Amino acid sequence: MKRAIFPGSFDPITLGHYDIIHRGVTLFDELVIAIGVNSDKKYMFPLEKRKQFIEEAFKDEPKIKVVTYEGLTVNFCKEIDAQFILRGLRNPADFEFEKAIAHTNRKLSEIETVFLLTSSGKSYISSSIVRDVIRNNGDYTGLVPNSVRI
C-alpha cells in the first residue's frame, strides 16, 4: 500500500492545501493529513477545530485520514508506515525551504518527498494571509474550503 502523509499546522486549512490534497489523493492508496502539534506555537484555531475543518472538507473521501502528531515528521511516518511525504509548492522560496527539509528527512530516513505545484489560481494563498484577513474582519471565504466558517 502506498501511504503518504501531508503534514502541516493547517491554521486554518486553505484552498491551497485543499488543492494539493485533492490532487495528491489520486497518487496514493491512502493520504494521511497529519496536523503537527508544536507547543511553542500560538495558533488562531484550537487543534480540534483545525481537525474538524479538514475532516468536514474531506468527509466524502475514503482514502483520506486526519490525525495529529508530535515530534519529527519522519518518526511519525515510521510509526504509521508511510513511505511518502506530500508537500505543496507555491513559489521558488517554498521550493528552497522544502528542498532542505526533504534532504534532511531523506538523510534521517528512507522517506521520499513528493512535491506538487499549487494550482496557479491558488498559489498566493497562505494560512498566515488567511489569519490576517480574519483578524481584520475581511472576507476570507474565497480563500478557504466551505468547512472553514467561524
C-alpha distances (whole Å) from 5 to each of 30, 50, 63, 84, 133 are 8, 16, 12, 6, 28
Q: Which of 17, 50, 51, 87 is catalytic?
A: 17
User: 87 an active-site residue?
Assistant: no
C-alpha distances (whole Å) from 94 to each of 7, 52, 91, 98 are 15, 27, 5, 6
User: 17 an active-site residue?
Assistant: yes
User: 127 an active-site residue?
Assistant: yes
**63 phi-psi bin (left φ>0, alpha ψ -120 to 50, beta other):** alpha
Q: Which of 39, 41, 42, 107 is catalytic?
A: 41
Enzyme catalytic residues = 17, 41, 90, 127
